[in-house]
Amino acid sequence: MPSARTSKSTGKTADAAQYVPEGADWAALRSAAAKCHGCELHKDASQTVFGEGPVPARLMMVGECPGDHEDTEGHVFVGPAGRLLDKAFKAARIDRSKTYLTNAVKHFRFTERGKRRIHQQPLRGQVVACFPWLREEIRVVRPRLVVVLGAVAAKAVLGPSFKLTEHRGEVLEHDGLRVGVTVHPSAVVRAENFGEAFDAFVADLLALKKPQKKA
């Protein structure tokens, strides 16, 4: 099972472990996560946004954290990045209904700008604090392939020193898991050359889902 692998922390750091019911099924995990105060993000977010999809599932995708739409609606990948991901799924012939989708961090991190809530990348300590939920999701989903979307998710699963740019489009073996690596769909949404970025993202998904040759 993967580890968040963080460096030594200063002082006492809260995490989600105390809220995670040992050996629980998915429904019990989701219910418990709704009451998680494992880091400070719960104070401002509207709700916990837990993963969704079939359990078990052959394919699991891990993003960064909920955005404004996800925080409001309580579902993963329903905002602009989610719509882009759906488009990429269609192009790569991936069935979303058969894919388990989640995030490394279950609460929205943002800064307020007038009436708008602007997404902020979660801090490393928040990723580590939330990791017990992701670990348990991997346990109950039992995916044959975990695809990490973006650097935050990649470092949550593969460790803080992992460099996404060096392994994009690759499938790695890590702590008994097959882990595919690509960018987060939000990076494609923001890309200056959208068409090129989208095609590259779809190419990654196609490469990652191919059966891997045994050595």
**pLDDT score recorded for residue 11:** 35
The token pair at 143 is 């995916």
Given a contact cutoff of 8 angstroms between Cβ atoms, the answer to whether 55 and 136 are in contact is no
Length of the chain in residues, anyone?
Answer: 215
The answer, yes or no, to whether residue 7 has pLDDT greater than 90, is no
pLDDT tens by residue, 111-120: 999 989 999 9
How confident is the model at residue 213, as a pLDDT?
59
- Asked whether the beta carbons of 150 and 63 are under 8 A apart, the reply is yes
Q: What is the C-alpha separation between 121 and 189, in angstroms, rounded?
A: 16
**Is the pTM higher than 0.75?**
yes
Tens digits of residue pLDDT in 183-208: 999 999 999 999 999 999 999 999 99
Interval 19-45 mean pLDDT:
97
| Integer CA distances (angstroms), 6 to 12, 62, 155, 169, in order | 14, 19, 10, 25
Query: 210 or 156: which carries more pLDDT confidence?
Result: 156
Is residue 12 pLDDT above 90, yes or no?
A: no
- Please tell me the predicted confidence (pLDDT) of residue 112: 93
Over the chain, what is the mean pLDDT?
A: 93
pLDDT confidence of residue 210: 86
Collapsed DSSP state (helix, strand, coil) of residue 11: coil
pLDDT in tens, 33-82: 999 999 999 999 999 999 999 999 999 999 999 999 999 999 999 999 99
Check residues 11 and 168 and name the one with the higher pLDDT: 168
For 90, other C-beta atoms within 10 Å of its C-beta total: 12
